[in-house]
Structure 1
Amino acid sequence: MGNAENKPLEYELVKIDPSGDIYFEHYFDQGRLVSNHWHNDIELILLLNGKLDVSIGKQTLHYKQDDIILINSQVVHSTICTAPNESILVQIPYPFLKRYIPDMDDYIFSVDCFSEDSLVKTKLLQLKETLQQMLVVNEYHPDGEKLQFTSLLFKLLYQLYHNFRTQDFQSSMQKKAKDLNKLEPVLDYIQEHYTEPLSLHEIADIAGFQFEYFCRLFKKNMGLTCLEYMNEIRLSHFYNDLIATEQPIQYLLDLHGFSNYKLFRKLFAAKFHTTPSRLRKNLQSENKTQSHRK
């Protein structure tokens, strides 16, 4: 179920289906690295099995089974799944939220699944139950499916608004959105040409920025330098192919623009604390175990 009011940009990694108002999926991740990105949608993830690491700024949170994750609109983040996981994935477009929550811009949503507060735990349980009910409707297609799913969707929105909204400083969010929008052509260009040897001056020129201003703007909003971002993009594509294919590692390095193998080894070890061959072997073993259980 989804909404196609706005075509998502490549870096947003948002899947939209034209048949409804939101994107909803029973999602199986065999292992994936998604480098720093943002989207205009609000994203909710309920982990049914497995683990997921989510990084926002300099903070990385480690989520496990039964944890719920909420990522607000225009928040730059990255995710790493180093073992198979199963989740409920929901993406709620900003225009849809704005239609039913007119004061949407005055708030952000804060979901703390690590809280020990009993009231917070009760509210989280209610949110999880609603997501589970949506999953049942989405998979078993009862009579009146669309009516039932829509009623649960509005129940979900009410729970978010009533239980998890916090005051936001609108002016700072508006400036953040403007700055991120300035970077859209840069991120699009990097996604299209990441396999090539790109220079920072070339990228700044394409975006029409003075070089020093561009470097400051990028680091401030993306949380890492443009060069670090380019290597993250290369690493994410390499990692995803490492997991999904049997192609030789050297072939994947060349395919995804890693000409400096020493740098690659340093980046990979810092991110995954192992080697590509060991990680591939471990994940293949995990996937076989999961298949036998099914």
Structure 2
Amino acid sequence: MMIRTLCILAFLLVTVGAYTAQAATTVKFRPLAVTSQDANNAPLKAPEGVACSQTSVLVSDTGNGRLVRYSLVNDDLKNGVEIKLPQLTYPLRAKFTPKGEALVLDGKSRKIARVAADNTFVAYLDPQNVPGPAGTVTRSLAVDAKGNIYLVDILGERVLILDPAGLFIRQVPFPAHYGYISDVAVDQQGTVLILDSMKDQVYRAAANENSFKEMGKDLQDYLFFAVSIDIDSQGRVFVLDQNDNGVVLLGPDGSFLGRYLNFGWKPGQVFYPAQECLAGNDILVIADRDNSRIQMFKLQ
């Protein structure tokens, strides 16, 4: 995989500029802070996840088996507080709820921990009244503006939608002939988007729909193995490509708007990124996993 990444580097250095130029009238990425340690100067190690709110960024510092919570102040990350919880030994994906609680998926137990705003463990999420198959295996999660929870259940081949207390609301099955559904996002209207890493495809289901439909065409021309998806207030879709070390931007209709970033170790470059999130003040935050750091970009 490393050989594959290095082989495409030359290609990316040529083509990324072309893709970005096409999107220049849509959005620009301006590098901001690069953070690689907490407030006590303890370094991050292979962070797999990052969650954003208007004022905070929560990092799943996976290699160290901990969380680190930063304050987002004037487009910078401050006061990285270590959170060590015995219930979270291998934190992966993370999302904030509207009430400031964090939901964090643990990669070993496959449970989702509720972490309070004061950084204490509350309880595990307990999905209730969920129809068969018995049990769930969660790959990723999202939370909407009402606090409803969306789980990518790879065992049940579906997206489960729960209320803030974990009670079942509805489910949407994965599309036929899917490859590997790796992430989920939801917009302000309740439209659910899922990302198929193997098929290089985004699927969409409106709030009143019970099936997913393709969103956009020919995305395989721009994606290699995408792993994270998020939506901004304008309905634009940000797709983080892990293996091609970049971000692909789609319009609300799924049209290609541009490709940004490239492989490397310098600020503004990424190396096997794992998750992204959109924070307040038009900031995109990326868990830059194999660089063991968090990077922020101002969207202009």
| Higher strand proportion (structure 1 or 2) | 2
Q: What TM-score comes out, normalization by structure 1 length?
A: 0.25
Tell me which structure has the larger Cα radius of gyration.
1
